[in-house]
């Protein structure tokens, strides 16, 4: 007879069983997450207020494009339309996702205290019709190595390191340059050496990010044309719509479990394509503002004002998205807390992979999905 305190490793479940059950999350998890989300909600409010189109677009004396933009240019209808577009885009993206994050946290908080009391295990037939299990390439099972599953190769990780570092530099220097009248930001600007130094650092980081984007596109092209490796996993599919509906039903307690994902969750695809959309916008507008003497005579002061407005508002949207959406789903949700190390190590524990990408895990290992 096995003592109830004896611990046995069950390889079929990829976990230790038989001993006293330990909480999967520290007690301080939910208080910390609630504080963080409330702080993010305040930040979101500031973002939306700042982008509200009633504010006049300002050209600061040290802006490189300043001499080419007049007061009549910044009140042009094209500038107004640009302001409204990015305001509605930012509100339409960040407000719903923040509400969803709050609802997910509430759902998980209820489950942690009460457990799953009601809900269906089987999906509605209409959702099953939106699903089609993709076939894995033959060599994909080689990613299973011992207790780990390889998820990202060295090139993908390098691309992430460069993107992460350049984005942080751009966000910090961009905020300091974009809000120079704020006393705290003005103090930090003086600490860093003034506007000229900030401009230089910002421009260098921009070219680093551009180089990283070219690296990424070259990596995809090489994988597709030379290695015959399709990037289809990152493209939206009907399965993503099914997973979104499933997640909504789970949030409201109609399902006991969250969706079983393939190689990417729908949130990760949104994250990827948000960057893919934002990169050309930031590059085109940024280059024009970086070399105004070259572009201003070609497009005129009113369109330089449009470029400046689009660049600033897209930067605010991108920074808000990273701080609110990416940080929660990438590092703060229950399966990732306190930090998700996969992009730094390139691999995940099998037990963690099963939580994140349950259906692909079943294909890679041959284990059946939990029902």
The string of pLDDT tens digits covering residues 147-199 is 999 999 999 999 999 999 999 999 999 988 888 877 888 888 888 888 899 99
Q: Which helix (H) or strand (E) holds 349?
A: strand 347-349
User: Could you give the C-alpha distances from 352 to 7, 160, 304, 356, in angstroms and in order?
Assistant: 20, 21, 48, 6
Domains of the chain by start residue, with CATH: 26-122+154-341 (1.20.950.20)
- For residue 282, is pLDDT > 60? yes
What number is the average pLDDT over the span 81-98?
A: 94
pLDDT at 137: 75
Q: What are phi and psi of 317, to 5 degrees?
A: -60, -45
> For 2-47, how does the pLDDT look when each residue is reduced to its tens digit (9 = 90+)?
444 444 444 444 444 444 444 467 888 999 999 998 998 998 998 8
Mean pLDDT of the chain: 86
What number is the average pLDDT over the span 291-299?
A: 95
């Amino acid at each position: 007879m096995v003592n109830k305190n004896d611990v046995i490793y069950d390889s079929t479940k990829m976990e230790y069983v038989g001993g006293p059950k330990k909480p999967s999350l520290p007690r301080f998890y939910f208080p910390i997450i609630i504080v963080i989300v409330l702080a993010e909600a305040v930040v979101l409010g500031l973002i939306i207020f700042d982008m509200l189109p009633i504010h006049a677009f300002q050209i600061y004396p040290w802006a490189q494009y300043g001499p080419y933009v007049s007061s009549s240019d910044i009140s042009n209808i094209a500038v107004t339309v640009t302001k409204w577009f990015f305001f509605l885009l930012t509100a339409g993206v960040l407000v719903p996702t923040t509400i969803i994050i709050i609802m997910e946290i509430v759902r998980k908080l209820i489950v942690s205290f009460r457990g799953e009391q009601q809900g269906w295990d089987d999906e509605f037939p209409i959702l099953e019709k939106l699903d089609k299990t993709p076939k894995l390439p033959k060599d994909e099972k080689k990613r299973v190595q011992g207790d780990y599953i390889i998820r990202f190769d060295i090139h993908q990780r390098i691309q992430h390191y460069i993107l992460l570092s350049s984005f942080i530099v751009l966000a910090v220097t961009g905020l300091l340059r974009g809000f120079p009248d704020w006393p705290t930001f003005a103090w930090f600007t003086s600490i860093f050496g003034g506007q000229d130094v900030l401009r230089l650092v910002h421009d260098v980081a921009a070219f680093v990010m551009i180089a990283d984007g070219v690296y990424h596109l070259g990596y995809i092209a090489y994988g597709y044309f030379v290695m015959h490796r399709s990037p289809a996993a990152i493209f939206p599919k009907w399965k993503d719509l099914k997973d979104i509906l499933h997640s909504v039903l789970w949030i409201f307690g109609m399902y006991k479990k969250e969706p079983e994902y393939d190689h990417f969750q729908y949130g990760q695809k949104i994250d990827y394509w948000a960057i893919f959309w934002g990169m050309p916008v930031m590059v085109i507008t940024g280059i024009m503002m970086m070399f105004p003497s070259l572009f201003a005579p070609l497009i005129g002061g009113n369109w330089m004002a449009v470029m400046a407005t689009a660049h600033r508002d897209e930067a605010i949207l991108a920074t808000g998205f990273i701080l609110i959406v990416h940080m929660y789903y990438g590092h703060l949700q229950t399966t990732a807390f306190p930090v998700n190390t996969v992009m730094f190590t390139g691999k995940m524990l099998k037990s963690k992979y099963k939580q994140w990408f349950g259906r692909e895990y079943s294909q890679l290992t041959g284990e059946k999905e939990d029902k």
